[in-house]
Amino acid sequence: MAKFKTDQIRNVALLGHGGAGKSTLAEALLFKTGAISRMGRVEDGSTVSDWDAEEHRRGISINLAVVPVEFENLKLNLIDAPGYQDFVGEVISALFAAEAGLVVVDAVSGCQVGTELAYDRLRDLEKPRIVFVNRMDRENANFTNAVDSLRTTLGDEKIVAFQIPIGSADSFKGVISLIEMKAYMGPEGKESPIPADLQQEAEEARIALVEAAAEADDELIMKYLEGEELTIDEVRHGLHVGVKNCAITPVYCGTATGGIGLERLMQALRRYVPAPNERSVTGTKGDAEFSFDSEVAGPVAGAVFKTIIDRYVGRMNYVRVFSGKINRDAQIANARTGKSARVANLFSVRGKDLQNLDELVAGDIGVITKMDDLVTGDTLCAPEQIVKVSPPEYPRPLYSVAITPVSQVDSGKMGPSLSGITEEDPTMRYQTLSSTKQTVLQGMGETHVDVAIHRMAQKFGTNVETAVPKVPYQETISKSASAQYRHKKQSGGAGQFAEVHMRVDPQPTGGGYEFKSEVFGGSISSSFFPSIEKGIRAVLENGVIAGYPVVDVKAVVF
């Protein structure tokens, strides 16, 4: 297997609305570069990136998939992320490992909800983005309308066409490079003169492109304003700077199924996506903040961005190396636990296929197996130099179902199965509620949870039934109140006398229970306080309104 240096690697997340053709595009690039002998189809479940049983059953992408494409001494790590919003955790993980995003847009539909969400996420993370208008060979495909919809919906005037199409639908034949002012025809990308009927349109579009390139670089803008013509290399330099600084979003076009425009797209990803060592990520080194620059000479720092538990391979941890390099058989530490272990199994990955590796250099992506204490977000580092890469933040679940095991056998396996499911997906959680005596599985939506339940059966052999969760009602108080109690016993034996004063105050929502003493001078011995608090807690278990637990209350003895 070819070895690549850090500056020969590009990590790009494939993003967009569900059904825009992301997985098909990845498949087409693999086919074009000779990595596969025939193109698979999403509908048939035969693509490299959609290999999970649930993906085959549903016909949609569910997991992120790493799809390396190699050409011209470059390794392009495409990270194909689901477009369905229930699986947003996969998008977050993909962007954590990538330097840039390739947003795939349907030429007929234009900007859709998934397009907007993906673009906004890239914008929030300040990561470069490139747009590929796909399916130009479809009926009603319209490149101009698609680009206009992007500018209008996304509110970004720096979305700049780097190409225009030659024809559309059945007449789609090729693309025109506005940088070189050349036409590239057919799947082979044969260089040709620009058709006469498109010459003026291409010249007008090139003016906007050159202006964007000039505005991205101070020296170029001075030359441009003085009326000098920029060379092709100068235009490319300005565009590279603009894309790297998120000041320009290039737009390319083509068709993944027809293979047109793919060669120019790969060249664009090579030229305009920053190499890993052109961007840094933050973390900590000891107690101090630290910046990782994806340099091989830096401290070892590899972050786990995806975990899969395979019934045959075991735990597979997808690792992006942000600094240094990870070698097979080397001792490596988990920064979270401090425990060290030998890297016994190190692989490159393409879809579900693994290939042995001797080392993983800064900027590259691979898989480590047989390290059972690793979870998504962990950092691998040298035992003698503990560093941590700041992990991404995942959203809280939005949808819940109550689950119960179908049989006694399933009951014994449900706990480990739930642990496995939630370790694979940081946006999936579960909890057992004592108030309702139910186990509740939580995810980002109905489909997300349904996929998890099917995986419990397929992967872990655990069958469960679902129900609507019971509402865990709670009670609280709305204003302060106080009471006192006097205890007297004077008949038979020594007399007893005690008086206690108590006040209850409302706490803010989520404030919980608090016990406080405002007794001064030893009027009540401190040895009584544990018993007092125990009694209060017992009363709070059953409220006076309907017998539900009482929360957000402060009890004060005074």
Average pLDDT over residues 126-153: 97
Check whether 523 has a pLDDT greater than 80. no
Give one word for 554, left, alpha or beta, with left for phi > 0 and alpha for psi -120 to 50: beta
Check whether 494 has a pLDDT greater than 80. no
User: Rounded distance, CA 544 to CA 550, Å?
Assistant: 9
Check whether 493 has a pLDDT greater than 90. no
On whether the CB atoms of residues 423 and 375 are closer than 8 A, the answer is yes
Check whether 537 has a pLDDT greater than 90. yes
Q: Which domains can be identified in the chain, with CATH numbers?
A: 9-193+248-275 (3.40.50.300), 281-389 (2.40.30.10), 399-467 (3.30.70.870), 481-557 (3.30.230.10)
pLDDT digits (tens, 9 = 90+) for 120-135: 999 999 999 999 999 9
Backbone angles phi, psi at 532, to 5 degrees: -60, -50
Check whether 59 has a pLDDT greater than 90. no
User: Rounded distance, CA 49 to CA 35, Å?
Assistant: 13
pLDDT band at 67 (very low <50, low <70, confident <90, very high): very high
pLDDT digits (tens, 9 = 90+) for 305-364: 999 998 888 899 999 999 999 999 999 999 999 999 999 999 999 999 999 999 999 999
Mean pLDDT of the chain: 94
pLDDT digits (tens, 9 = 90+) for 224-265: 999 999 999 999 999 999 999 999 999 999 999 999 999 999
pLDDT digits (tens, 9 = 90+) for 438-474: 999 999 999 999 999 999 999 999 999 999 999 888 9
What pLDDT was estimated at residue 528?
A: 86
pLDDT digits (tens, 9 = 90+) for 31-51: 999 999 999 988 888 899 988
pLDDT band at 519 (very low <50, low <70, confident <90, very high): confident
Tokens found for residue 466:
């679902």
What pLDDT was estimated at residue 56?
A: 87
User: Rounded distance, CA 14 to CA 23, Å?
Assistant: 8
Edge-to-edge order in the sheet of strand 190-192: 163-166, 174-177, 182-185, 190-192
pLDDT digits (tens, 9 = 90+) for 382-421: 999 999 999 999 999 999 999 999 999 999 999 999 999 9
What pLDDT was estimated at residue 86?
A: 94
Check whether 378 has a pLDDT greater than 90. yes
Check whether 522 has a pLDDT greater than 80. no
Share of the chain above pLDDT 90, in %: 83
User: Rounded distance, CA 235 to CA 419, Å?
Assistant: 52
